[in-house]
C-alpha cells in the first residue's frame, strides 16, 4: 500500500536535533514516529500560525531540537513562510513557519496572502495555532484573526488544528492556581475559535497543549523539560499532533486554486448578482425606457 502523508522534499537533512533531547524524550518521540509509520505515514507536514511574537518560530525550534528558524524579541523575524524539513529513520517531518498574522495592530493582509500562496499544492496534515498563555484577554483582534483564517482557509483548517500556548512556565497573577489559570485561558481561546470556526455545539473542542520554549525551562529527574504541573511537554505536544493526524477526523488539508483566488466561503455575493441582474432587467430598465419615451412624446407635443 502507498504511504500516506505529504511528500518529503528531496535532499532533506537528517533530524540531528532529536539526539540532543534526553533519552526519555527521544524514546517517547521514537514511539510516536512508530505510531505514524504503523498508520502507513512516512511524512508529516505541520503548519504553524499565530499573531506576531507569540512564539511560533521558537516552537518550531523546540520540536526539531535545533535552531531552524530565526527568533527575536524585538522585531518580526519571520517575514515570509518557510518550510523546514528533517528526516529520521525513513520518516520526514516538515514544519511550515509563517509570518505573524497581525501587523501594526491590524490583521495583516500581506501575511495571509503570502501564506495562502505558499500553501498552494502543499498538503498540510496538522495546524498549530499559537498564542501566549500569559495573556489575559481574548480581544477583538484575536476574533478578527480567527475569523479571517476561517474566511480565507475555510473551517476545515480548524478541524486539524491544535491550540498551542507558549510561555507555559508562568506564575499566575494574584495567587491563582496554575491549572485553573491554564483552564481559563484555554476556555476563552477555545470559545473564540469555536465561534470563528462556526463549529456546532456538538463538535469537539480544539485540543490544547501548553509549551515552554525558554532555555530555562524546568526539567524532571530524567532531564526532560517540564511545565509547573510536571507535564513533559515536548512528547505531549507531538502526541497531540499524532492524535490529530491519526484520529477519525484526520484529513490532509490542501489550499486549492479557489482559496488562492480568495473566493473561499464567499459564494453568496456572487449568487446575489443574479437577482440583482433580473431586478435591473425587469424593473429598472423598463422604468428608464418608459421615462425616455415619455420625454420624447412630451418634446414632440411641445413642437
Ligand atoms: N519565556 C518564553 N519566551 C518565549 C517562548 N516562546 C517564545 N518566546 C520568546 O518570545 C519572543 C518571540 O518569539 P518568536 O519565536 O520569534 O515569535 P514568532 O511568533 O515567531 O514571532 P514573529 O515571527 O515575529 O511573528 C522571543 O524573544 C522568544 O525567545 C516561551 O515559551 N517562553
Ligand atoms: Mg517567527
pLDDT digits (tens, 9 = 90+) for 179-215: 999 999 999 999 999 999 999 988 889 999 999 999 9
Same domain as 277, residue 165 = no
Helix (H, G, I), strand (E, B) or coil at 103: strand
For residues 21 and 74, state if they share a domain: yes
Region of 101 (left: φ > 0; alpha: ψ -120 to 50; beta: rest) is alpha
- 280 shares its domain with 226: no
Number of domains in the chain: 2
Whether residues 74 and 135 share a domain: the answer is yes
Residue nearest to atom 23 of ligand 1 (CA): 78
Answer yes or no: is pLDDT of 268 > 60.
Answer: no
Distances in whole angstroms, Cα of residue 173 to Cα of each of 53, 65, 148, 181: 22, 31, 31, 9
Range of the domain at 273: 267-303
Same domain (yes/no): 20, 111 = yes
Res 1: pLDDT: 40
pLDDT at 3: 47
Cβ neighbours of residue 133 closer than 8 Å, sequence gap 6 or more: 165, 166, 167, 168, 170, 181, 182, 185, 210
The answer to whether residue 210 sits within a structural domain is: yes
Is the pLDDT score of 265 beyond 70? no
- Residue 3: inside a domain, yes or no? no
Question: In a mutational test of the pocket of ligand 1, which residue from 58, 72, 133 has the highest number of ligand atoms less than 8 Å from its CB?
Answer: 58
Q: What is the CATH number of the domain that holds 31?
A: 3.40.50.300
Mean pLDDT taken over the chain: 88
When computed from its CA atoms, the radius of gyration of the chain, rounded to whole angstroms, is: 25
Asked whether residue 251 falls in the same domain as residue 298, the answer is no
What per-residue confidence (pLDDT) applies to 5? 46
Question: For the residues 52-60, what does the mean pLDDT come to?
Answer: 95
Q: Give the residue, out of 48, 49, 55, with the most ligand 1 atoms within 8 A of its beta carbon, to mutate for a pocket test.
A: 55
What distance in angstroms lies between residue 79's CA and the mean position of ligand 1's atoms?
Answer: 14
Q: Does residue 141 surpass a pLDDT of 80?
A: yes
**Any domain includes 2:** no
Which protein residue has the closest C-alpha to ligand 1 atom 27? Answer: 73
Residues near ligand 1 (Cβ within 6 A): 50, 52-58, 71-73, 76-78, 99-100, 166-167, 211-214
Residue 41 included in any domain: yes
Residue 228 shares a structural domain with residue 291? no
Cell numbers representing residue 10 in the block: 528531496
Best mutation site among 64, 170, 213, 231 for ligand 1 pocket (most ligand atoms within 8 Å of CB): 213
- CA distances 106 to 28, 52, 110, 132, 145, Å, are 40, 11, 11, 18, 9
Q: Is 265 exposed, middle or buried (0-12, 13-18, 19+ CB in 10 A)?
A: middle
On the question of pLDDT at 276 being above 80, the answer is no
Distance 12 CA to ligand 2 centre (A): 22
5 inside domain: no
Band (pLDDT 50/70/90 cuts) for residue 138 is very high
Residue 124 lies in a domain: yes
Contact (CB, 8 A) for 218 and 174: no
Instruction: Say yes or no: 133 and 169 in one domain.
Output: yes
Same domain, 174 and 272: no
Question: Are both 140 and 272 inside the same structural domain?
Answer: no
Name the residue with the closest Cα to ligand 1, atom 12: 53
164 and 298 part of one domain: no
Ligand 1 nearest-atom number relative to CA 100: 25
Q: Are 88 and 217 in contact (CB under 8 A)?
A: no
Q: Which listed ligand is nearest to 218 at the C-alpha? A: 1
7 part of a folded domain? no
Cα(55) to centroid(ligand 2), Å: 7
Q: Answer yes or no: is pLDDT of 11 > 90.
A: no
186 and 291 part of one domain: no
- What pLDDT score was predicted for residue 7? 45
Residue with the smallest CA separation from ligand 1 atom 13 is 55
Of ligand 1's listed atoms, the one at least distance from the Cα of 73 is 27
Residue 149, in any domain of the structure: yes
Q: Which residue, chain included where needed, has cell 522585531?
A: 75
Measured in Å, residue 283 CA sits from the centre of ligand 2 at 55
Ligand 1 mutation pick, 51, 56, 59, 71, max ligand atoms within 8 A of CB: 71
Amino acid at each position: 500500500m502507498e504511504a500516506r502523508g505529504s511528500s518529503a522534499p528531496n535532499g532533506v537533512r537528517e533530524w540531528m536535533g532529536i539526539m540532543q533531547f534526553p533519552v526519555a524524550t527521544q524514546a517517547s518521540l521514537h514511539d510516536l514516529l512508530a505510531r505514524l509509520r504503523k498508520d502507513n505515514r512516512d511524512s508529516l507536514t505541520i503548519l504553524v500560525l499565530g499573531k506576531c511574537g507569540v512564539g511560533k518560530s521558537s516552537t518550531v525550534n523546540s520540536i526539531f531540537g535545533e535552531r531552524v528558524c530565526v527568533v527575536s524579541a524585538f522585531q518580526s523575524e519571520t517575514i515570509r513562510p518557510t518550510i523546514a524539513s528533517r528526516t529520521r529513520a525513513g520518516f520526514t517531518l516538515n514544519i511550515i513557519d509563517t509570518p505573524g498574522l497581525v501587523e501594526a495592530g491590524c490583521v495583516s493582509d500581506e501575511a495571509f496572502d503570502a501564506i495562502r500562496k505558499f500553501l498552494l499544492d502543499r498538503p498540510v496534515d496538522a495546524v498549530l495555532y499559537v498564542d501566549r498563555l500569559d495573556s489575559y484577554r481574548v480581544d477583538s483582534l484575536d476574533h478578527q484573526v480567527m475569523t479571517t483564517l476561517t474566511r480565507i482557509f475555510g473551517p476545515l483548517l480548524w478541524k486539524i488544528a491544535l491550540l498551542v500556548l507558549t510561555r507555559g512556565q508562568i506564575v499566575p497573577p494574584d495567587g491563582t492556581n496554575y491549572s485553573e489559570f491554564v483552564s481559563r485561558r484555554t476556555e476563552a481561546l477555545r470559545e473564540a475559535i469555536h465561534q470563528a470556526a462556526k463549529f456546532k455545539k456538538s463538535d469537539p473542542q480544539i485540543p490544547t497543549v501548553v509549551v515552554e520554549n525558554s532555555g530555562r525551562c524546568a526539567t524532571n529527574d530524567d532531564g526532560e523539560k517540564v511545565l509547573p504541573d510536571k507535564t513533559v511537554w515536548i512528547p505531549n505536544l507531538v502526541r497531540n499532533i499524532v492524535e490529530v493526524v491519526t484520529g477519525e477526523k484526520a484529513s490532509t488539508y490542501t489550499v486549492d486554486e479557489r482559496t488562492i483566488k480568495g473566493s473561499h466561503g464567499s459564494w453568496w455575493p456572487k449568487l446575489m448578482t443574479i437577482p440583482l441582474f433580473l431586478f435591473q432587467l425587469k424593473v429598472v430598465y423598463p422604468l428608464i425606457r418608459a421615462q425616455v419615451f415619455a420625454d420624447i412624446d412630451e418634446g414632440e407635443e411641445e413642437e
